[in-house]
Amino acid sequence: MKRWSLPIALYLFVVFVSGAVVGALGYRTYNPPPSSSNTVRNPNPEEWRRQYLQELRTRVNMTDDQIQKVEGMLDQTRANFRDARTKHNDAVKQIGEQYREMVRSLLTPDQVPKYEQFRQERDQRMKQQQPKR
């Protein structure tokens, strides 16, 4: 029996090592490490605008007059987006206030102060949890 113990031990060792290698490769394949070269930094709006206009000049061969018109269009579009975002935010706030009024209408006079306290605490928690921009 002794002569079989060494080959069996080597066989088990090889199986164990091959399992570890396959596991490590599988882990690396499905969970690749983050690479700093793959992260793309979003340019701020002014950098984006400068790059965009530069690409229009070089790739589309726009003239300075055309670039000035595009700049005006970009300004107008920015203002339109800002207005739309403001209207959207106002509508969302109005819907939220309507909901709160409906809840208040269900409450007894004793429950209203408790509900207001609950709302204040919840709003504070939500503000703390929001990511900083």
The CA radius of gyration of the chain, in Å to the nearest whole number, is 31
Backbone angles phi, psi at 123, to 5 degrees: -60, -40
- Tokens 């670039």: give the residue: 67
pTM of the full predicted structure?
0.54
Q: Is residue 22 part of a domain?
A: no
Distance CA 32, CA 23 (A): 13
Q: Give mean pLDDT in consecutive 10-residue pieces for the chain, a chain of 133 residues.
A: 76 91 85 64 87 94 95 96 96 95 95 95 89 63
Q: Is residue 54 part of a domain?
A: yes
- Number of separate domains in the chain: 1
Domain extent at residue 117? 45-133
Q: Is residue 1 part of a domain?
A: no
Both tokens of 63, joined, read 């003239």
Q: Is residue 36 part of a domain?
A: no
